[in-house]
Amino acid sequence: MTQPGDPPTAMEVRGESLGIHFSRGRSWTSNSHLALEAAEFAAEEHPKVDLHRPMFKAYFDDLEDIGALDTVVRIGASAGLPEAELRAALSEGRYRQQVDEGIAWSQQIGVTAVPTFVLDERFAVVGAQELEFFESVMKKLGREPRVV
């Protein structure tokens, strides 16, 4: 893990150019399973809530433990998810199997690094890439990139 004083990594440089900050000094890695379950909850129950950016910021910028229930619930609530519903879904493990199946599928197709983007269930892009790269891949697949 990078520490304060180490030279910036290529990922840090790319992130900074896009307004994304990666803090240094983490001495542990969170188990992201609860965060993934919260993302499934958001996608199914509250699809207009953007949970990914606040979760990313909490982990990489604020060095929070996104494997802790209270942390994930607080981040979800701050993003606009109903706190009690989210806590109940995570406590019950309502999306645990769905996340486990997604992880198993990823392992079956050979995903070994994060991030890996699977496009059209045929092509994998490993690592962070520039937007133009994804647009070119989508065009090769005969798909128009979505405007966001």
Domain contains 45: yes
Q: Do 133 and 143 belong together in one domain? A: yes
Residues 15 and 57 in one domain: yes
Q: Considering the entire predicted model, what is its pTM? A: 0.80
Q: For the range 98-107, what are the long-range contacts, defined as Cβ-Cβ under 8 Å and sequence gap of 24 or more? A: 98/37, 98/40, 99/33, 99/36, 99/37, 99/40, 102/36
CA distances for 118 relative to 3, 86, 106, 110, angstroms: 31, 28, 9, 11
One domain, residues 99 and 41: yes
Give the model's pLDDT for residue 145: 67
| Mean pLDDT computed over every residue of the chain | 89
User: For 25-61, what is each residue's pLDDT tens digit?
Assistant: 888 899 999 999 999 999 999 999 999 999 999 999 9
Predicted confidence (pLDDT) per residue in 100-132, tens digit: 999 999 898 888 877 888 888 877 888 778 888
Cα–Cα distance, 61 to 59 (Å, whole number):
6
Q: Are residues 87 and 145 in the same domain?
A: no
Whether 2 has a pLDDT exceeding 70, the answer reads no
Residue 59 burial by CB count (10 A; 0-12/13-18/19+): exposed, middle or buried? Answer: buried
Structural domain boundaries, residue 124: 110-148
| Residue of 98 and 116 predicted with greater confidence | 98
